[in-house]
């Protein structure tokens, strides 16, 4: 997984940028940092621990008792701990946190721009943008009228819970608000990482074809809501909406599906109503 795609490269700096002030700070210098030690011999003896062998092809770290832990397990365990902290913060404040996941170019940022404009004056929104490089999307979100912070993951292909926690501390979302987390465009790794969100929202565009849920089933299996975006282009790319819905429900029978066009606004009323319902429900829970 991510240990082979660049995410664990110690040269990989993760940064957080406030586009309102231009301030940028380094969150960490490698997605695997803080999990365990670096490279070392694979057939060795640690002081106070017994000699052990392990597969040199499996990235690993050592636990507190010297046990060998696969790196993927250690990374996910560490991530889940931070996710639980984020979730507690969101629940305590009645903040609805949604993790938007998709392929690059599916229209996540355009969807957010439309949503911010439509809910302006009635719902407080903040956005965490995730991209490998540039603050372009955060600038677009700020221009649309919402507070936004940009996380740049460098070689990393997904956001992790500690990054989101740092951004949340800076954003300080208001009680009863909505926090949108626009993840790095990728239909694989973001499915594995809990950010403490209330749900993942998968966005698929008509230009990608109807079979993406079948090709990337895990992402759609962990998403409670799927938005089929760019419906204005469906006739031009011969997109079969029924086939796409069937593919989604084959991998996730419980998923809700909205067909929308963030460019024209068609179908967006259902998405906006969903957000208002989520906000009302969680505001009630926080005040109970």
Q: What secondary structure, in 3-state letters, does the chain show?
A: CHHHCCCCCCCCCEEEEECCCCEEEEEECCCCCCCCCCCCCCEECCCCCCCEECCCCCCEEECCCCCEEEHHHHHHHHHHHHHHHHHHHHHHHCCEEEEEEECCCCCHHHHHHHHHHHHCCCCCEEEEEEECCCCHHHHHHHHHCCEEEEEECCCCCCCCHHHHHHHHHHHCCCCCCEEEEECCCCCCHHHHCCCCCCEEEEEEEHHHCCCHHHHCHHHHHCEEEEEEECHHHHHHHCCCHHHHHHHHHHHCCCCEEEECCCCCCCCHHHHHHHHHHHHHHHHHHHHC
Please indicate, yes or no, if residue 130 is contained in any of the structural domains.
yes
The reply to whether 23 falls in a domain is no
Answer whether residue 41 is part of any domain: no
pLDDT at position 31 is 46
Stated pTM of the model = 0.82
User: Do the domain assignments include residue 12?
Assistant: no
Residue 59 lies in a domain: no
Give how many domains the chain has, as a whole number: 1
Q: pLDDT tens across 226-281, in order?
A: 999 999 999 999 999 999 999 999 999 999 999 999 999 999 999 999 999 999 98
Give a yes or no: residue 202 inside a domain.
Answer: yes
Lowest mean pLDDT among 40-49, 93-102, 104-113: 40-49
Angle at 266 between CA 263 and CA 271, to 5 degrees: 95
In a domain, 37, yes or no: no
pLDDT of amino acid 70? 56
Q: Higher confidence at residue 42 or residue 261?
A: 261
**pLDDT tier at 10 (50, 70, 90 boundaries)?**
low
Residue 145 lies in a domain: yes
- The CATH number linked to 215 is 3.40.50.300
Q: Domain residues for 200?
A: 79-283
pLDDT at 156: 87
pLDDT for 65 = 53
pLDDT at 198 (0 to 100): 97
């Amino acid at each position: 997984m991510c240990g082979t795609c660049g995410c664990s490269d110690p040269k990989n700096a993760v940064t957080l940028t406030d586009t309102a002030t231009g301030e940028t700070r380094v969150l960490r210098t490698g997605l695997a940092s803080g999990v365990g030690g670096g490279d070392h011999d694979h057939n060795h003896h640690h002081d106070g621990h017994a000699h052990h062998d392990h597969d040199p092809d499996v990235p690993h770290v050592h636990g507190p008792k010297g046990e060998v832990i696969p790196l993927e397990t250690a990374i996910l365990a560490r991530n889940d701990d931070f996710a639980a902290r984020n979730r507690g913060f969101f629940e305590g404040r009645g903040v609805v946190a949604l993790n938007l996941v998709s392929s690059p170019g599916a229209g996540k940022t355009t969807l957010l721009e439309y949503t911010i404009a439509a809910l302006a004056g009635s719902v407080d929104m903040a956005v965490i943008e995730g991209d490998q490089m540039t603050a372009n999307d955060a600038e677009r979100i700020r221009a649309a009228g919402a507070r936004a912070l940009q996380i740049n993951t460098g070689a990393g292909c997904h956001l992790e819970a500690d990054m989101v926690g740092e951004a949340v501390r800076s954003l300080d979302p208001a009680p009863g608000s909505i926090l949108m987390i626009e993840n790095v465009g990728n239909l694989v790794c973001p499915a594995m990482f809990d950010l403490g969100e209330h749900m993942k929202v998968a966005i698929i565009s008509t230009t990608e074809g109807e079979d993406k849920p079948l090709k990337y089933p895990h992402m759609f299996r962990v998403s409670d809501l799927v938005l089929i975006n760019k419906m204005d282009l469906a006739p031009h790319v011969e997109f079969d909406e029924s086939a796409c819905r069937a593919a989604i429900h084959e991998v996730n029978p419980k998923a809700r599906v909205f067909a929308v066009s963030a460019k024209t606004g068609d179908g967006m009323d259902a998405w906006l109503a969903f957000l208002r319902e989520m906000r009302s429900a969680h505001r009630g829970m926080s005040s109970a």
